[in-house]
A = this chain, B = another copy of it.
Amino acid sequence: MDRQRGQHLFHQGDTDKSIYLIRNGLLKAYYLSDDGKEYIKSFLLPGDMIGSLKGMMGDGGCSFSLVCLEPAELTCIDYDILYARSRNDLNLANSMVDFLLAFAMKKETREFEFLCLTAEERYQTLIDKAPGLVDRVTQNDIARYLGVTPVGLSRIKKRVERAA
């Protein structure tokens, strides 16, 4: 399945129980607050998988939106079917365990960064760990991913450059 730049896979509040495997392209998952502020949960690159856990569990709708920043090729998997199959398929269940373990480590890293690092340190870490991303994504979006405003990130950037 293919999607253009700017196309949404689902919007916050939608009921979507799909899991998307990104084969190509670049997407962003983001929260939108009541007063219209955007917060970026993650960027998705080829090989990544994403879906709204809340949506899958039927806990109300999706808690965030998913949109293409670059044209994307995706594989869509129905969560209910996957889950049902895993109940009788040892290999599938094992794959899910492995995937979820890797996922948990990623989430733990991001938690660590918010809990223990300053905005400036998070920016440095991002540059080190995801070089190239900065060139494909607007600075606005980088800022909203790091938990600061675009104006704030502009200042951090200048500070970092001046120090270098």
Could you pull out 24 A-B pairs where Cβ atoms are within 8 angstroms? A40-B115, A41-B112, A53-B101, A53-B104, A53-B108, A54-B105, A57-B101, A63-B108, A90-B90, A90-B93, A93-B93, A96-B97, A96-B100, A97-B97, A97-B100, A100-B100, A100-B101, A100-B104, A103-B104, A104-B104, A104-B107, A107-B108, A114-B147, A115-B147
Cβ of A31 within 8 Å of any chain B Cβ, yes or no, is yes
Determine the distance from Cα of A101 to Cα of B104 in the docked complex, in whole angstroms: 9
A contacts, CB < 8 Å to B: 31, 33, 39-41, 53-54, 57, 63, 83, 86-88, 90, 93-94, 96-97, 100-101, 103-105, 107-108, 110-112, 114-116, 147
